[in-house]
Amino acid sequence: MNSEVPFSERTGLPIPAGEVTLQADLTLPRSPAGIVLFAHGSGSSRHSPRNRYVAEVLNERGLGTLLADLLTAAEEEEETTTRLRFDIALLTRRLTAITDWLGGQDQTRGYNLGLFGASTGAAAALLTAAHRPDAVKAVVCRGGRPDLAGRDICAVRAPTLLIVGGRDTAVLELNRDAKTQMTCRSELIIVRGATHLFEEPGALPEVAKLAAEWFTAHLRSNS
């Protein structure tokens, strides 16, 4: 991260979400253009190196980021963790609670909000956008599973960017189908040669660039 750009950072931030308290890392540039809340995929957390890389690129572009765990440490250790990681209803409730929390804090109130969802987290992001249409102004999904959002995907109003690897063929078809169902402004961009985790050289930087451009355009335009 560029040390010349002033940032405010808070790590291990406790956020109440119903019956549990979740942990999050908040980074705010000076006068952010908006704030992007990350919804991680199955088996991932706020420590995901891929999402942290994308978050740093967004920070450099003047966007605030909140990387939050959607499961508690105890839930991550339980034998039921696989089930919980695919419990889209649970993940959506918690992501929605974090969205509401951001809107009520002095430090983050008043900034336009975007959601960045990866894998199964994309479904939670889309459902949260559908449930909080006045709060969520833009969505980006990376290698997402929008099919897991069900029929509610039609209720998403926020401009939505779907980014999929060209070699992630099964997920690509799911995203193509989801785009035909969406009534909001939406775009599907295929990163050529990339697989599901965008591990190929240049693939993740391309995702970060596309996300930064989408959020910058749509969060600023709603200010």
Q: Where are the domains positioned within the chain?
A: 7-221
Give 48's pLDDT tier (boundaries 50, 70, 90).
confident
The tokens describing 2, both together, are: 């560029």
> pLDDT at position 148, please?
95
* Residues 53-104 pLDDT 10s: 999 999 999 999 999 999 988 887 765 556 777 789 999 999 999 999 999 9
Q: Measured between alpha carbons, how far is 217 from 61 in angstroms, rounded to an integer?
A: 11
> pLDDT at position 82, please?
65
Residue with tokens 């990163």: 191
CA 93 to chain CA centroid, nearest Å: 14
Q: Which of 195, 181, 121 is nearest to 153 (CA)?
A: 181
Tell whether domain 7-221 is in CATH 3.40.50.1820.
Answer: yes
Coil/strand/helix, residue 160: strand
Q: Measured between alpha carbons, how far is 128 from 94 in angstroms, rounded to an integer?
A: 9
Q: Which of 14, 81, 89, 98 is nearest to 44 (CA)?
A: 81
User: pTM for the complete prediction?
Assistant: 0.93
Nearest 5°: phi and psi at 12? 60, 35
